[in-house]
């Protein structure tokens, strides 16, 4: 198998565009991962290239890749997804029945869907009717009250034999929901930066919607239970979790389980620390709750979902593995490259950031292999930037470099599953925006030409100083083409003049 890449002879400047072959290489790597192909590259030969007048000189590199002997064979669910409980807060949980969202998620199956994140440990289950049904007045809840039952009965399901409830929500619902989400986004950000979180109520009906989305999308649900509910002796208070387990069992929901989210941060979030030994006992307690429930007696259990492996985090993991290492089916941890509050676009190209992940993998593997050699390791809640991400950066093409590095490095070093945060929620790290369109929304012109040109929808006048009606207008600059998204595409004939060889 061969891959052809074009690189400019000169080193790129700080405002230059990424090499034009990187997106095809990303797709190529994804193909390698799914087919468990080899990453061993062989003969690399520079090829001569004919230069058009006015274009910078390039070097083409031809890579011959052997596909006979795989270096690693990854889990069929290697690339999986996460949903943050904040979607309960901002109201988007009610829209998981969207036919478009389900269709997009189905394209990523088979995969795990982890329901967890920052607000996992403030989630309380109540077996009550959805509060939206008892509230009136204008707003998304008012329209949900009137439309919801009709939607799940009347719309055509994608998979009738599974009883999937798929909806095409009225535009008025979506418009009102976006207004509500924009207001709640500010509330959620304030909680994020102040480290003060309000409790979330998960109703039985909301759990039904969550499971319906996972099941209809071909995703296996992993539910992260609240671990911050504590008894006076600091042991885990499992009353809310037990209620949720019993309800899920009564509905025969096929779910795997996890307890807590980043327990190393509990002191700052709740003022009460939990050490590794106590957390291990909590997992053993959860296991004892699952065993008497027939449908969950053999359910998978994952954890402890620690943060980046600094000194205190490694100590917590060590204590956990001593007590409960054999209890979990896979050891889970989280990774983030950049602080989302201070990120700049060039941060996504820093090689020292790429190297941090490899070092963290070694630290986790060392502890795990000390107690349970061969135990599977998962990386959960993967984001490029923390604190909810950064608009027009972590949800853009720029973040693809760190994401590509993550996939390749984890596969190469034997990490079993990587769970991307997040499929759909507030912030700027999600894969699908509030219009139910997949992100990133913008790619470089070369990538758009390569993958979306059938033919270019913008006529030549649009780049040469004339609008479609023939009226004079300013030409579209190269910079605008670079950031303009799929509606700013170019034809093959126009490409050399617009690209300047970049």
Q: Quick: pLDDT tens for 200-209.
A: 999 999 999 9
Q: Are strands 123-126 and 417-421 parallel, antiparallel or unpaired?
A: unpaired
Q: State the average pLDDT for the chain.
A: 75
Q: Is the pLDDT of residue 487 over 90?
A: no
From 80-94, 265-279, 309-323, 388-402, the region with the lowest mean pLDDT: 388-402
Q: Is 171 exposed, middle or buried (0-12, 13-18, 19+ CB in 10 A)?
A: exposed
More confident position, 281 or 434: 281
Predicted pLDDT of residue 50: 54
Mean predicted confidence (pLDDT) in 162-171: 79
Range among 151-160, 185-194, 355-364 rated most confident: 355-364
Q: Is the pLDDT of residue 82 over 60?
A: yes
Region 240-269: what's the mean pLDDT?
Answer: 94
pLDDT reported for residue 458: 39
What is the pLDDT at residue 12? Answer: 39
pTM to 2 decimal places? 0.74
Total residues found in the chain within this entry: 502
Contact 441, 399 (CB under 8 A): no
Given pLDDT bands bounded at 50, 70 and 90, which one contains residue 485?
Answer: very low
Given this model, what pLDDT does residue 187 score? Answer: 83
Q: What is the pLDDT of residues 328-358, one digit of tens each?
A: 999 999 988 776 556 677 777 777 777 888 9
pLDDT of 484 reads: 40
pLDDT of residue 15: 40
**Both structure tokens of 221:** 């649900």
H/E stretch holding 259 reads strand 255-259
Whole-number Å distance between alpha carbons of 253 and 113? 14
Helix intervals (H) in 302-434: 311-324, 351-371, 400-412
* Contacts for 255 with CB less than 8 Å, ≥ 6 apart: 211, 221, 222, 223, 248, 296, 299
DSSP letters, 180-249, are: HHHHHHHHHHHHHHHT----EEEEHHHHHHHHHHHHHTTEEEEEEEP---B-TTS-B--HHHHHHHHHHH
Query: For residue 138, what are the β-bridge partners?
Result: none
Q: pLDDT tens, 394-426? A: 777 778 888 888 899 999 999 999 999 889 876
- CA dist 416 and 418 (Å) reads 7
């Amino acid at each position: 198998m061969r891959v052809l890449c074009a690189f400019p002879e000169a080193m790129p400047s700080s405002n230059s565009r990424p090499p034009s072959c990187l997106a095809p290489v990303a797709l190529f790597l994804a193909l390698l991962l799914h087919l468990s192909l080899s990453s061993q590259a062989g003969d690399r030969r520079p090829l001569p290239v004919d230069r058009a007048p006015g274009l910078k000189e390039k070097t083409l590199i031809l890579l011959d890749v052997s596909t006979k002997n795989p270096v690693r064979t990854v889990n069929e669910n290697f690339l999986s997804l996460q949903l943050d409980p904040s979607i309960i807060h901002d109201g988007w949980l009610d829209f998981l029945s969207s036919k478009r969202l389900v269709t997009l998620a189905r394209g990523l199956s088979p995969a795990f869907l982890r329901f967890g994140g920052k607000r996992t440990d403030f989630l309380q289950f109540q077996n009550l009717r959805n509060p939206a049904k008892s509230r009136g007045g204008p707003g998304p809840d008012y329209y949900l009250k009137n439309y919801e039952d009709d939607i799940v009965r009347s719309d055509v399901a994608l998979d009738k034999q599974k009883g999937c409830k798929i909806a095409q929500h009225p535009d008025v619902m979506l418009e009102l929901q976006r207004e509500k989400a924009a207001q709640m986004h500010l509330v959620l950000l304030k909680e994020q930066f102040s480290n003060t979180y309000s409790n979330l109520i998960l109703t039985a009906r909301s759990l039904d919607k969550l499971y319906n989305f996972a099941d209809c999308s071909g995703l296996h649900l992993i539910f992260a239970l609240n671990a911050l509910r504590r008894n006076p002796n600091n042991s885990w208070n499992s009353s809310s979790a037990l209620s949720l387990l019993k309800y899920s069992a009564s509905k025969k929901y096929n779910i795997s389980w996890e307890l807590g989210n980043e327990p190393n941060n509990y002191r700052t979030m709740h003022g009460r620390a939990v050490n590794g030994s106590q957390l291990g006992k909590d997992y053993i307690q959860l296991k004892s709750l699952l065993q008497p429930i027939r449908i969950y007696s053999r359910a998978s259990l994952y954890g402890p979902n620690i943060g980046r492996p600094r000194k205190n985090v490694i100590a917590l993991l060590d204590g956990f593995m001593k007590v409960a290492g054999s209890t979990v089916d896979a050891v889970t941890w989280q990774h983030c490259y950049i602080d989302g509050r201070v990120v700049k676009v060039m941060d996504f190209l820093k090689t020292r950031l790429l190297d941090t992940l490899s070092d963290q993998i070694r630290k986790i593997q060392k502890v795990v292999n000390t107690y349970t050699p061969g135990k599977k390791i998962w990386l959960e809640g993967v984001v490029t930037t923390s604190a909810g991400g950064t608009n027009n950066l972590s949800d853009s093409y720029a973040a693809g470099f760190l994401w590509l590095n993550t996939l390749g490095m984890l596969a190469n070093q034997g990490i079993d599953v990587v769970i991307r945060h997040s499929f759909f929620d507030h912030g700027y790290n999600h894969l699908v925006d509030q219009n139910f369109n997949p992100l990133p929304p913008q790619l470089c012109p070369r990538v758009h030409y390569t993958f979306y040109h059938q033919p270019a929808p913008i006529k030549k006048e649009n780049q040469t100083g004339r609008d479609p009606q023939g009226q004079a207008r300013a030409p579209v600059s190269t910079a605008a083409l670079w950031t303009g998204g799929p509606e700013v595409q170019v034809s093959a004939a126009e490409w050399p003049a617009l690209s300047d060889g970049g």
